[in-house]
Every structure is written in C-alpha cells, then in structure tokens.
Structure 1
Amino acid sequence: MMKILITGFDPFNNEKINPSWEAVKQLPDKLKDIEIIKLQLPTEFKKSTEVLFENIKNISPDFVLCIGQAGGRYDFSIERVAINIDDARIPDNSGFQPIDNTIFEDGKTAYFSSLPIKGILKTINENNIPGSISNTAGTFVCNHIMYSLLYYIEKNNLNTKGGFIHIPYIREQVLNKKSTPFMELSTVVEALKLTILAINNYKKDIKLIGGLEF
C-alpha cells in the first residue's frame, strides 16, 4: 500500500485557525489503496524541520505533501520551486525572525517539487476547482519546509517524492475582511483528495500550459 504523509501548519500571525491543518485533518485515513498519514507542523522555522524529518524517518512514506496558508491567493496554488533563503516579514510562533538566512549551507540554490504538479493541476481543474502553478513559495516557513523536505530527500538518497501546495483562507477567516479571497473548506478537502489520487495516478508528470508571461 502506498503511504503519503500530508502536513498542515498550526495557526500563526494572530489567526485562530490555519486552513491547511483544518483541511488536512478532515482527510480520510485511507483513499482507495493509499494510506494517508496526517501531521500538524508548528509554524516555526527550526522546529517544523525537526518534526518533519523525525516523522519521515519513522514512517518512510512514498510521498510527502506539505500544505500551507497563503492569505490573499485565490486558488489552489501548486508550488514548483523552493529557494535556499529564510527572510521573514513577521516572526514565527517561537518569536524567531530570520532575515536573509541560508537554510542549509550545503544545499542547492533551489529545489524543484518532485510531485506531478501539472498532473495535479489537470486533475483539480477537470473537477472545477480553481488551481494554478505557483513559482514562488515565499520566504517564510512554507518555503522553508518545502526546501528542507526536498533537501532531506536528496541528502538521504530517499525514494520519497515531495512537494508543497498553498491554499487560500477559508470562509470563517474572512468574515471581517472585505474583498479578501477565500475557498470553502469542503472545496479544499476535495482538492486535497484529488491531489492524492493524482500523485498516485501520474507516475511521470505531463506537459501542460501553466507558465506565466511576466
């Protein structure tokens, strides 16, 4: 049975919830012949990496999919690349605020997702869920964990594949934030289920228009 480790973050920046974990925890423990292992990560640069690495070591998943909140985005944003920099606009939940810090001195400048990002995009779009390929995961904890994940996989010569997806706010987070985009939690959960199935179905990624002209 294929095993996928899927993570979400705890709330940060004065939010009461984090939609990434709200969605992840609603996923079933099994989807077809796929075992789904759910993990909440702290929104902290150092600790999130420690928790993730420990769980990968103990679980030995075939795939790791990390989910994070991107307030202000409109759709299901499938990240293509993570860069080797921490540059925090706000402190993390431990109070740590790195500025222009290298994540791993022996790491590459950037790592690309090893998930079938275009296959995922095609699958969710065919099910009428808005999605896009994103070429920046930011420089906060989301980029940090995506980069760290792919670094760990390479340095330990694992057969595991990994990647990251950003999701918008959910409805209850924007009740007092006029004109702020959101996605229904039920839609996010469905998109994650479709993503897991796409990861299992696409052994190789496909070529699909998803680039930007600027």
Structure 2
Amino acid sequence: MILFTGFEPFGDRDSNPSMSIARQAASILEQQGIATIAAELPCVFATAPAMLEELLATWQPRVVISLGLAEGRGALGLEKVAINHLDARIADNAGNQPIDLPVLAGGPAAYFSGLPLKAALQALRDPSTELGDVEAEISYSAGTFVCNQVFYSLMHHAGRAPGLRAGFIHVPWMDPASPRIAIHARAVACVAQLALAGATEPRLGAGTEY
C-alpha cells in the first residue's frame, strides 16, 4: 500500500496543487495494480498530525509521500530534512500562528527523509524519459510551517515502523487546469515506485553551496 497526502486549499486559494498531484499520482499507480490511496490533510497545526497518524494506523502503508505547496519555488523539491521547530510567519487556516515551538517536545532536532531522493533525482533528470520534463532538486529546508510539521511527524512515526519508507515533496504552484499537474503526478508516482522497490542511492552530488 502506498499513501499520498496533500493539503487542502490555503488562505484565499480555491485549490491546492499538492492534492491534485496526490490524486493523479495515486490513479497512475492504481492503474498499474499498486494499491494506493490519496488523502487530504488540513492546513492546520492543531489537526494535521493527528489526521496523518489516523491515516497511517488505518492503512499501514509501506510507502508514504506527503506533498505540500511551495508557492515561491519553480522546481519539485525532494525534501531531505524535517526539523523539530515551528515558526509561522503567517497564520494557518484556523488562524493559529505558533512561533518558536517544537513540533514534538523532547523529540530529536531533526529527521532525514526515508525516500531514495538521489535515485529519484537521477530518474527525474533522465532526458531519455518523459520524466526529463520535470525540474527537480533536493531541498534541505522544508520550512517551518505546517508542511514541515507534517514531514517531521511522519518521520517520527516512520522511526517506529520498520520497513516504512516515507518522506515529503514540495510542489510549485500551478493552476488546477495546467498540464503540469499530470507531469508532476508522474514524477511523484516514480518516486513512490522507487521507494517501493527498495531503490538505493547512487553516488551523486546534489547538495547546495548556500
């Protein structure tokens, strides 16, 4: 079982590409005979982790990819690290704005993704495939908003669930009617398939200088 999560629309937006991509990625894998579900999380600090935990308990997936919107980015962000820190510059959909609080009191400072990020990056950059249309990068900051909270909560759960491969991907803003939704959905489905197959990481320099 593969679980994708996306977020509900945020603020005055009436759509969220993370959820559109999650649904289409799930459909792609279902058509290949892989049991997959896509679920929507609230963009609310107080309820998103609990809803994620409920989904994990119900479906007990082998692979989980949570998706979120990074409106200012142009590339698909394969997130490497979740930090135990919340610092909301703006309020969530319930009007809450936690500042300088931990995601989990007493928890580790950070968790690394359990997804094969460099294997995914290599596949997504391969010009011989249709996935070469996707601009992707490994990101070393998932922010300090609800996306990071969900990512950290997911990896905290994964640490207690042997065999579970999990992580987070940020998607750029795109219109719900954009053909880029389908392109990014194929990319996300590819990452999930690599994780399900137990892909290992190639020796590939993909870091940043700043």
* Shared fold per TM-score greater than 0.5: yes
Contact 1:170/1:183 (<8 A) preserved: no
- The reply on whether 1:114 has 2:118 as its aligned counterpart is no
Alignment of 1:1-214 (within 5 A): 3-27=1-25, 28=27, 30=30, 32-126=32-126, 127-128=131-132, 129-154=134-159, 156-171=160-175, 184-214=180-210
User: Root-mean-square deviation (CA), in Å?
Assistant: 1.8
The alignment covers a number of residue pairs equal to 203
| Unmatched segments (≥5 aa) in structure 1 | 174-181
Instruction: Please state whether the residue corresponding to 2:123 is helix, strand or coil.
Output: helix
Structure 1, 18-27 or 47-56: larger mean CA deviation: 18-27
Counterpart AA for 1:13? G
Cα displacement string for residues 47-102 of structure 1 (whole angstroms, at most 9, x for unaligned residues): 11011101101111111100000001011110000000011011111111100001
SS at match of 1:38: strand
Whole-angstrom distance in 2 between the partners of 1:87 and 1:31: 40
What's the CA shift for 1:22?
Answer: 1.3
Of 119-128 and 192-201, the range deviating more from structure 2: 192-201
AA aligned to 2:51 is: V
Supply the AA of the counterpart residue of 2:137. Answer: S
- Give the structure-1-normalised TM-score: 0.89
Measure how far apart 1:119 and its partner are.
Answer: 0.9
Q: Report the secondary structure of 1:16's partner residue.
A: coil
Preserved CA contact (<8 Å) 1:74 1:183? no
Question: How far apart, in 1, do the equivalents of 2:188 and 2:161 lie?
Answer: 27
The AA in structure 2 aligned to 1:132 is E
Q: Would the aligned equivalents of 2:17 and 2:176 in 1 still touch at CA under 8 Å? A: no
Aligned in 2, Cα 1:143/1:183: closer, same or farther, shift over 3 Å?
A: farther
Give secondary structure in 2 for the equivalent of 1:46: coil
**Distance in 2 of aligned mates of 1:197 and 1:161:** 11
What is the TM-score when the length of structure 2 is the normalising length?
0.90
8 Å CA contact 1:123–1:198 kept in 2: the answer is no
SS at match of 2:35: strand
Of the structure 1 ranges 194-203 and 39-48, higher mean CA displacement relative to structure 2 is found in: 194-203
Q: Secondary structure at the match of 1:106?
A: coil
Moved more, 204-213 or 137-146: 204-213
* SS state at 1:171 partner: coil
Structure 1 runs (4+) deviating above 4 angstroms are none
Per the TM alignment, residue 202 of structure 1 is displaced from its structure 2 partner at its CA by 4.1
Task: Say which SS state the counterpart of residue 122 (structure 1) adopts.
Answer: helix
Alpha-carbon distance, 1:18 to partner:
0.5
State how far apart, in whole Å, the 2-side matches of 1:107 and 1:33 are: 38
Paired residue type of 2:167: G
- Tell me how far 1:183 sits from its aligned partner: 8.0
Residue identity over aligned pairs, in percent, reads 34
Question: Which structure 2 residue ranges, 5 or more long, are not aligned?
Answer: none
SS of residue matched to 2:73: coil
Paired with 1:4 and 1:125, the residues of 2 have a C-alpha distance of: 23
